[in-house]
Amino acid sequence: MSLKDTKYSVLDLVPVLEGKTPADSFERTVELAQHAERLGYTRYWMAEHHNMPAIASSATAVAISHVAHHTSTIRVGSGGVMLPNHAPLVIAEQFGTLATLFPNRIDLGLGRAPGTDQMTAQALRRDLNSRAEEFPNQLEELRNYFEGKNIIHAVPGEGLDVPIWLLGSSGFSAQLAGRLGLPFSFASHFSPNNTHGALNLYRSSFTPSDVLEAPHAMLGVNVVAADTDEEAEKLATSQQQAFLNLVRNTKNLLQPPVDDMDEVWTPGEKAALQQQLGASIVGSKETVRRKLEAFQAETDADELMIVSQIYDQEARLHSYQLVSDIMNGK
C-alpha cells in the first residue's frame, strides 16, 4: 500500500507547556483539530493519562466532547481509554452519549494498562490485583452493553454502533483484536521494537467478524517535520525531553527545544531513549517523505497516527501540514 492509499490521523496528548496552563493546552488542541480537519486527517484521538502534569487529557471523554463540538467532520476518539480504570457500564454510557451527540464521528480505543503509577491507580479505585486475563471479560461486558445483551441497560449507548479499537504496545491486545476481528492500533511511537511482532500476531490470528472482514492495523509514529532537517531536529528535542521526564520520573511540563541534548541527558539515558524513540521520523519534508515511505513499506499499515510533541504551536501546525502534503503526494 502506498502513502497516498494510507489514512492518516492525529494522536494528541494535549501537552501542557512550560510557562502555560491546561487551559492554554485545550486552546492549542482545538486549533490543531480544526487544522487537521481542513487537511484531511481521518481521526483525532486523545489518550488517558493520570498524575502527569504535562498531559491534560486525563478526562478523555470530556476532552473528546470539547474537540468534537469545535469540529464538524473529523472522527474524534480515545487513544485510548484505559478500560481497567473504569466500570464498563460507565464507558458505555460516556461513549454512548458522545455517539448520540456526534453521530458517526466517535471512536472508542481501549487499552489495558493503568496509564499511570500504582499509587494513582489505587486512587482511581482500580483493582491492582487484576490480571491481564480479565481484560477480555471487561471488553465483552462493554460490548454487550452496546449490543443490549446485559440485564442492565446503558442509556445512551445500547443499540449504538460505536467502533471499538484495541490498543497495545505488546502482543496481548494484538492477539485479542485478531481473535475478535477488531481493528488494532499499535504504539510504535514508544515501543518500536515490538511493532513487527505485534503486527504479525494480529494478522496471523485474525478471524473475520461482523466488524471487519480483514485485518485493519493503525500504527502510532512520532513525526517532527520542518523546512530543514536541522530545524526539525531541534524541535524534536522537546519530545526527547518529555520521554526523559518519564525515565527520570520527574513531573516537568513540555519543555522548549534545546540546541544540544547531550547537555541534558547522560549517555545511558540517551541510549535508553533511542530504544524508545528509534522509529521517530524527524526532518525536512523530503526526509520525512523518504522515511514514511520506508516505514509504510516495512509495515503495510492501513493507517498512520501521527504524534508530534512540538513546543511551538506554529511549528506544530506546520509539521502536520507537511505530513498531510506528503500523504497526498504533494
User: What pLDDT does residue 131 have?
Assistant: 60
pLDDT at 129: 62
Strand partners, 217: 184
Closest CA to 195 of 161, 225, 177, 220: 220
Helix (H, G, I), strand (E, B) or coil at 266: coil
Q: What is the pLDDT of residues 151-201, one digit of tens each?
A: 999 999 999 999 999 999 888 999 999 999 999 999 999 888 899 999 999
DSSP string, 32-87: HHHHHHHTT-SEEEE----S-TTB--SSHHHHHHHHHHT-SSSEEEEEEEEGGGS-
Give the per-residue pLDDT at 128: 56
Q: Which pLDDT does position 246 carry in this prediction?
A: 86
State residue 98's pLDDT score: 98
- d(CA 71, CA 90) in angstroms, rounded, equals 25
Strand-strand pairing, 106-111 and 164-168: parallel
Alpha carbons 78 and 107: distance in angstroms, whole number: 7
Round the average pLDDT of the chain to a whole number and report it.
94
pLDDT recorded at residue 117: 67
Is pLDDT of 116 > 90? no
Place of cell 494528541: 12
d(CA 234, CA 237): 5
Instruction: Give the Cα separation of 2 and 296 in Å (integer).
Output: 7
Average pLDDT over residues 66-82: 97
